[in-house]
Amino acid sequence: MISASDLRRSAPSALRNRDPILDVLRSVLPSRGLVLEVASGTGEHVIHFARELPALDWQPSDPSPAARESITAWVEAERPGNILEAMDLDAGQSPWPVEQVAAVICINMVHISPWEATIGLMRGAGQALARGGALYLYGPYRRPGRRLEPSNLAFDQDLRARDARCGLRDLDAVSQCAADHGLEFERTIDMPANNLSVIFRKI
């Protein structure tokens, strides 16, 4: 139980999806190197991944001060030795305040942010990734020739009602944006609750 005075935040979805995501990351990430997480949120994902993949170094980031406080609190509580200090990084900024990285992961950001954030994500990943490095995305997407599942349709409508700039993105548009910045689409993997893992590689 996290007390009211504890700066650690918790997201039920992070606890639900962290192990399915980890299973995919084991086959996507290199054995060693620095992994940048864009939009780390509460910090629960990076704590879990760092614990389970200890040979990798992890760089969490988020533009929200409250999120960075939560990440720092989780790190101080769990004391992993392979997580760097949370970085103030907005996906849309250029250039990113980070050197070359082996991989970039971004979970549940693309649909809850303006399209400009996705453009920035692809531009930044294209610049920061080493050749062959992976960009891993997780979340719900629109796919050509397929109707949105009822749960995703309702989610999309809710997001757009709150902010017309947000909503589930067309996977083809995301892939084209990635290609425009030197990232090649590799594959998608169906995930629980009508989500997708989407993997790109720096060419």
Helix, strand, coil shares, percent, the chain, to 5? 40, 25, 35
CA–CA distance, 188 with 138 (Å, rounded to integer): 10
Query: At 55, which CATH number?
Result: 3.40.50.150
With respect to residue 9, please indicate whether it lies within any of the assigned structural domains.
Answer: no
pLDDT of 4 reads 43
> Is 102 part of a structural domain of the chain?
yes
Give the model's pLDDT for residue 1.
Answer: 45
Q: Which pairing describes strands 169-170 and 141-142: parallel, antiparallel, or unpaired?
A: parallel
Q: Report the predicted TM-score, pTM, of the whole model to 2 decimal places.
A: 0.95
CA 108/CA 142 separation, integer angstroms: 14
| CA 99 from centroid of its chain's CA atoms | 18
What residues make up the domain containing 48?
Answer: 17-109+116-139+172-202
User: In degrees, to the nearest 5, what angle opens at C-alpha 136 toward C-alphas 131 and 137?
Assistant: 140
Q: Is residue 44 part of a domain?
A: yes
Residue 5 is predicted with a pLDDT of 56
**Can you read off the two tokens belonging to residue 102?**
């082996």
Element (H, E) at 190: strand 183-191
Count of the separate structural domains present in the chain: 1
Query: Using one digit for the tens of pLDDT, what is the confidence trace for 102-152?
Result: 999 999 999 999 999 999 999 999 999 999 999 999 999 999 999 999 999
Residue 7, in any domain of the structure? no
| pLDDT < 50 positions in the chain | 1, 3-4
Residue 11 lies in a domain: no
Q: Contact at 8 Å (CB) between 130 and 101?
A: yes
